[in-house]
């Protein structure tokens, strides 16, 4: 029996349809996974199902929950439908929490509204659900504020909040995006446990085909606001019918492929870091604590080489990036450039969120040419160079007149790379550049970075928490943990490594082991 039936769903705004004629149903007890690129309409479909569309958007068509029209529910009925009938786990957990309320207060307020529970009964139920989320010390977490928890822990709490109302349908919108692979695995396991224990129905939204492969009974493929394909999960991997599904499968193959080992001689040494150490002091005036961010870290990068640095959040990756980019000085150790300690202008850093480093009032063309302006290059020449560099990174030249706020995350990453080319960077430090990009954008960025290396001779330090993308892009990889280099080698060498931490990173890859031999590739 279908718990959710969606028939000719259309969501329209002032500029036209965002979702057009989407039709599907989800059976009771099923795990359906909706997949597609950013902007394909996945999250908007989920919001329409819940009746929480942004202002200015209007939904039409027919949407039924257990045969009842969602669009014709009274306000009172809608309040019970939201939470008890259908629950939601958002991608950005920060939007779920009130920063001035403790975690426990978030639970007790829900229980008061939906179950009439108050006082000690509500508190005990809150501790029970916090513990169900796999958290070892529920009382401590219940007393904490949202900002005091890690991103992975906030995501666990968000799932527990939604599950605590015992919904019949749980919608999880990109619940694992930008999380470390081990935390992603924990979140997926938590969703599996919820489904197994309650028999509930799960609609999981993701851009990661590996997550879909691990979780799905059925896969719904969205493309440009339309449903491109709907079928059993095995069909997606063995015989996809739509061009959209075929492209997603090809992009996943790109992320799952290890390039052949480079047989050429080692490139000339560009950068050599030896024995880098860095610590920070945190806390108040009377309770200071010293954190050892880096401890005797050494690595090297050759000219035109793509080197990876992988590890979990808090492992020291970004601290090392700041040292190598010359933004901070190490407390101990040395960094040499072409064998000297003279630091060049030819090192550029691309932040995880490049748009945050852009002046929103500047056009893309001016942002690209900023470095040329400081060097006294004439305006006409700067504009011509900017248009050329935009085309070099796959952006149309006329985007020079647009603003970064008009671009997608992937387009802003390309814009940031164009800025580095303008100043003839020899080394570009990419700090988690794929963290917020969908799978297809990641595959395109991998191809772009390779082409820039081949065409310009640029070297890259690729910093990531995702071992898949590092394997797909890098010739050598360093594994960092707790501020120390744990392991290093080529992708092939790391695949065969006996290091427990490296093995753990590999084991937590979503959908690992899927046979894609029919699609000219293979999983890790």
pLDDT digits (tens, 9 = 90+) for 337-353: 988 877 666 788 888 77
pLDDT at 524: 32
pLDDT at 30: 96
Q: Compute the 3-state secondary structure of the chain and give helix, strand, coil in percent, each to the nearest 5.
A: 40, 25, 35
Q: Is residue 182 within a helix (H) or strand (E), and if so which, with residue range? A: helix 181-198
C-alpha distances (whole Å) from 366 to each of 6, 374, 386, 396 are: 46, 12, 8, 15
CA pair distance 35, 506, nearest whole angstrom:
23
CA pair distance 221, 272, nearest whole angstrom:
46
Look at residues 517, 516, 518, 477 and name the one whose alpha carbon lies nearest to residue 499.
Answer: 477
pLDDT at 344: 64
pLDDT at 291: 83
Local structure of residue 82 (DSSP, 8 states): I
C-alpha distances (whole Å) from 403 to each of 14, 355, 380, 388 are: 21, 10, 19, 17
pLDDT at 338: 87
Q: How many CB atoms lie within 10 A of CB 302?
A: 17
Look at residues 190, 189, 177 and name the one whose alpha carbon lies nearest to residue 151.
Answer: 177
pLDDT at 345: 66
pLDDT at 462: 95
β pairing state of 427-431 and 459-464: parallel
- In the 3-class helix/strand/coil scheme, how is 268-334 assigned residue by residue? CEEEEEEEEEEEEEECCCCCCEEEEEEEEEEEEEECCCEEEEECCCCCCHHHHHHHHCCCCCCCEEE
Could you list the pLDDT tens digit for every one of the 524 residues in the chain? Answer: 899 999 999 999 888 899 999 999 999 999 999 999 888 899 999 999 998 898 899 999 999 999 999 999 999 899 889 989 999 998 777 678 999 999 999 999 999 988 999 999 999 999 999 998 888 889 999 999 998 887 778 888 998 999 899 899 999 998 888 788 888 888 898 899 999 988 999 999 998 999 999 999 999 999 999 999 999 999 988 899 999 999 999 998 888 777 666 666 788 999 999 999 999 876 655 566 788 899 999 999 999 999 999 998 888 998 998 898 888 899 999 999 988 877 666 788 888 777 778 999 999 999 999 988 888 889 899 999 999 999 888 888 889 999 988 887 778 888 988 888 888 889 999 988 887 788 888 888 898 899 989 988 999 999 998 898 999 999 999 999 999 999 999 999 999 999 999 999 998 888 765 443 333 333 33
pLDDT at 262: 65
183 burial level (CB within 10 Å; 0-12, 13-18, 19+): buried
pLDDT at 420: 86
pLDDT at 386: 92
For residue 378, give the 3-state DSSP assignment: coil
pLDDT at 260: 67
The strand ranges marked E within 14-89 are 16-27, 31-35, 58-65, 68-69, 86-89
Q: How many CB atoms lie within 10 A of CB 5?
A: 17
pLDDT digits (tens, 9 = 90+) for 116-157: 999 999 999 999 999 988 888 899 999 999 988 877 788 889
CA pair distance 79, 69, nearest whole angstrom:
14
Q: Which two tokens stand for residue 236?
A: 């997606």
For residue 336, give the 3-state DSSP assignment: strand
Report all structural domains of the chain as residue ranges with CATH numbers, in order of start: 2-100+145-242 (3.40.50.300)
pLDDT at 101: 93
Place of tokens 């390779």: 450
CA pair distance 298, 276, nearest whole angstrom:
6
pTM here? 0.82
């Amino acid at each position: 029996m279908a718990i959710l039936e969606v028939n000719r769903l259309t969501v329209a705004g002032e500029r036209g349809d965002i979702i057009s004629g989407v039709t599907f149903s989800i059976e009771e007890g099923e795990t359906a996974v909706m997949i597609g690129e950013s902007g394909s309409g996945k999250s908007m479909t989920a919001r329409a199902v819940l009746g929480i569309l942004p202002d200015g958007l209007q939904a039409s068509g027919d949407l039924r929950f257990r045969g009842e029209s969602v669009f014709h529910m009274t306000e009172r009925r809608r309040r019970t439908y939201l939470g008890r009938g259908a629950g939601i786990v958002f991608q950005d957990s920060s939007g779920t929490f009130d920063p001035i309320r403790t975690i426990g207060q978030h639970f007790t307020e829900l229980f008061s509204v939906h179950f009439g529970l108050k006082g000690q009964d509500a508190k005990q139920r809150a501790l029970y659900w916090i513990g169900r989320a796999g958290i070892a010390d529920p009382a401590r977490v219940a007393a904490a504020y949202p900002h005091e928890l890690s991103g992975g822990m906030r995501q666990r709490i968000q799932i527990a909040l939604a599950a605590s109302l015992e919904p019949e349908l749980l919608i999880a919108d990109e619940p694992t995006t930008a999380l470390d692979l081990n935390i992603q695995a924990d979140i997926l396991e938590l969703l599996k446990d919820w489904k197994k224990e309650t028999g509930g129905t799960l609609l999981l939204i993701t851009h990661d085909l590996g997550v879909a492969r691990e979780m799905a009974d059925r896969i719904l493929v969205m493309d440009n606001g339309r449903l491109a394909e709907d079928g059993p999960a095995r069909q997606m991997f063995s015989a996809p019918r739509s061009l959209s599904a075929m492209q997603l499968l090809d992009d996943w193959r790109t992320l799952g492929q290890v390039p052949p080992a480079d047989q050429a001689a080692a490139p000339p040494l560009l950068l050599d870091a030896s024995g880098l150490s860095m610590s920070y002091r945190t806390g108040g005036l009377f309770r200071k604590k010293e954190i050892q961010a880096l401890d005797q870290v050494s690595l090297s990068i050759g000219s035109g080489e793509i080197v990876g640095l992988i590890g979990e959040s808090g492992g020291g990756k970004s601290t090392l990036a700041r040292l190598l980019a010359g933004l901070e000085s190490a407390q101990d150790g040395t960094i040499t450039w072409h064998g000297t300690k003279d630091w060049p202008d030819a090192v550029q850093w691309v932040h995880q969120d490049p748009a945050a480093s852009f002046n929103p009032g500047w056009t893309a063309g001016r942002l690209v040419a900023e470095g040329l302006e400081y060097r006294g290059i004439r305006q006409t020449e700067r504009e011509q160079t900017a248009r050329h560099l935009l085309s070099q990174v796959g952006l149309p030249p006329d985007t020079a007149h647009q603003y970064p706020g008009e671009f997608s995350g992937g387009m802003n990453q390309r814009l940031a790379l164009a800025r580095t080319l303008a100043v003839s960077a020899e080394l570009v430090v990419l700090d988690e550049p794929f963290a917020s990009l969908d799978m297809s954008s990641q595959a395109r960025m991998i191809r772009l970075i390779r082409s820039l290396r081949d065409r310009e001779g640029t070297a890259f330090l690729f910093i990531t928490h995702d071992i898949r993308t590092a394997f797909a892009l890098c010739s050598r990889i360093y594994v960092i943990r707790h501020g120390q280099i744990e392991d290093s080698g080529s992708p092939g060498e790391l695949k065969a490594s006996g290091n427990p931490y490296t093995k753990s990173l590999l084991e937590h890859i979503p959908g690992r082991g899927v046979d894609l031999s029919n699609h000219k590739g293979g999983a890790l």
